[in-house]
C-alpha cells in the first residue's frame, strides 16, 4: 500500500481535486491501494444532499463571508469545516473481489482503529461514538466525553463506487473556535441542529501535539498496520488535481 504525504496545499480547490484524483487513479488501476494524509486548507465541505436543502444558498453565502469557500465532497454525512488546525486522511482501495467481501461497518471500524492507534502514539485517550448535535453526525465519530455533552475530535465518512472505495475523515487539532463560528452559520442557515460545544480538538483535550506531529503519528500507524511505504506525489497528478477541484467549487 502506498502512503502519500503531499503537504499542505495553498488552494482548497486544488486540495479537493487532489483527493478526487487519487481516488480516480486507484479506481482506474493506475495507482495501488493508497493512504493519503494531508493538512487542510480553509474550506467548508458539503455533500450532494446538502446542496438540495432549504437555506443552502444562504449557507454558502455565510461560509464565504467567513472566508471559507464551499466545495462538494464525494462522501456522505453532513457539512464539515476545516482550517489550518485540521488535517484529513483517506484509505482508498479498488473495489475488487476482496474489497467486495467487506461491509460499510467494516470500513468505518478500520478507519476508527487507525485513528485510535495514532492517538495512542500521541498519548490521547478517545473513543468511538456520536456526539449530540455534532457537525456531520455519525456513530463512528471519535470523541472525548459522552453522547450528551462530549466533543468530537474526528469525523469519518465513506465514498463507494463500482470501481473503488474510500473511508477517511478530518482530524481536529486546534482552531475550534473559528470552526464553531462558521459551522454555526452554515448549520443555522440550513435549519439543522448544531451544538457549538460538540466541536472538540486535541488541543482542547489537553494535547500539545501539532498538526505535523499528528500526521507523523498517523503515518507511523499506517506503516505498522499496512506496511504502507511513502511515495512522492508526481507533477502529472498535481496537474489533474486543479481541474478536478474546480468542478467541486460552489459559487455564492
Enumerate the domain spans of the chain. 2-250
Return d(Cα 8, Cα 42) in angstroms, integer.
11
Q: Where are the alpha helices (DSSP H) in 31-92?
A: 56-65
Can you tell me whether residue 88 is helix, strand or coil?
Answer: strand
Return d(Cα 145, Cα 139) in angstroms, integer.
14
pLDDT of residue 91: 98
Label the pairing between strands 249-250 and 127-128: unpaired
Q: Which fold has domain 2-250?
A: BirA Bifunctional Protein; domain 2 (3.30.930)
pLDDT of residue 212: 97
Along the 252 residues of the chain, how does pLDDT read in single tens digits?
Answer: 999 999 999 888 899 889 999 999 999 999 999 999 999 999 999 999 999 999 999 999 999 999 999 999 888 889 999 999 999 999 999 999 889 899 999 999 999 999 999 999 999 999 999 999 999 999 999 999 999 999 999 999 999 999 999 999 999 999 999 999 999 999 999 999 999 999 999 999 999 999 999 999 999 999 999 999 999 999 889 888 877 777 667 766
pLDDT of residue 36: 98
Return d(Cα 241, Cα 14) in angstroms, integer.
5
Label the pairing between strands 70-72 and 43-46: parallel
pTM to 2 decimal places: 0.94
Q: Which helix (H) or strand (E) holds 57?
A: helix 56-65
Return d(Cα 190, Cα 186) in angstroms, integer.
7
Kindly give, in sequence order, each residue whose CB lies less than 8 Å from that of residue 38, ignoring residues fewer than 6 positions away.
4, 5, 6, 7, 8, 9, 15, 18, 19, 87, 88, 89
pLDDT of residue 132: 97
Amino acid at each position: 500500500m502506498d502512503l502519500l504525504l503531499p503537504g499542505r496545499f495553498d488552494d482548497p480547490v486544488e486540495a479537493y481535486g487532489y483527493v478526487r484524483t487519487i481516488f480516480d487513479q486507484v479506481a482506474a488501476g493506475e495507482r495501488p491501494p493508497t493512504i493519503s494524509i494531508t493538512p487542510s486548507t480553509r474550506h467548508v465541505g458539503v455533500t450532494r444532499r446538502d446542496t438540495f436543502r432549504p437555506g443552502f444558498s444562504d449557507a454558502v453565502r455565510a461560509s464565504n463571508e467567513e472566508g471559507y469557500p464551499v466545495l462538494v465532497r464525494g462522501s456522505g454525512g453532513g457539512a464539515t469545516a476545516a482550517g489550518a488546525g485540521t488535517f484529513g486522511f483517506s484509505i482508498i482501495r479498488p473495489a475488487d473481489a476482496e474489497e467486495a467481501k467487506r461491509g460499510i461497518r467494516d470500513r468505518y471500524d478500520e478507519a476508527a482503529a487507525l485513528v485510535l492507534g495514532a492517538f495512542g502514539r500521541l498519548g490521547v485517550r478517545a473513543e468511538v461514538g456520536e456526539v449530540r448535535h455534532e457537525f456531520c453526525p455519525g456513530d463512528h465519530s471519535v470523541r472525548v466525553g459522552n453522547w450528551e455533552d462530549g466533543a468530537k475530535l474526528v469525523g469519518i465518512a465513506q465514498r463507494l463506487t463500482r470501481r473503488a472505495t474510500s473511508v477517511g475523515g478530518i482530524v481536529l487539532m486546534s482552531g475550534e473556535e473559528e470552526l464553531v463560528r462558521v459551522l454555526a452559520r452554515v448549520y443555522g442557515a440550513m435549519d439543522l441542529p448544531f451544538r457549538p460545544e460538540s466541536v472538540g480538538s486535541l488541543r482542547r483535550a489537553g494535547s500539545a501535539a501539532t498538526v505535523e506531529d499528528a500526521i507523523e503519528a498517523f503515518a507511523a500507524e499506517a506503516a505498522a498496520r499496512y506496511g504502507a511505504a511513502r511515495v512522492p506525489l508526481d507533477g502529472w497528478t498535481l496537474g489533474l488535481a486543479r481541474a478536478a477541484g474546480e468542478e467541486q467549487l460552489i459559487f455564492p
